[in-house]
Amino acid sequence: MASDQLRADQGDTLDGLIWRMRALGPADLDAVLALNPGIAALGPILPLGTLVTVPDAAPAVRRIETVQLWD
């Protein structure tokens, strides 16, 4: 699995960082924690400059719903 790294700014929390930079939500937090062993031990506020590895986002599938006037 490919991944990228994000750098924490002052006062960043892990969930806030991944939401702001990648729009990743609570469902993605487990994957981020698995890619960053020991990051939870740093506390709720990440130290300035902490590198956080995040999984590459899967390409979004765009679904267009159409209306059928006659069946």
Question: SS3 string of the chain?
Answer: CCEEEEECCCCCCHHHHHHHHHCCCHHHHHHHHHHCCCHHHHCCCCCCCCEEEEECCCCCCCCCCCCCCCC
In a domain? residue 38? yes
- In the predicted structure, residue 69 carries a pLDDT above the cut 90: no
- pLDDT of amino acid 3: 75
Confidence of residue 60 (pLDDT cuts 50, 70, 90): low
Q: Which domain covers residue 9, as residue numbers?
A: 3-55
In a domain? residue 20? yes
Whether the model pTM is above 0.75: no
In a domain? residue 36? yes
The structural domain count of the chain equals 1
Q: Is pLDDT larger for residue 27 or for residue 37?
A: 37
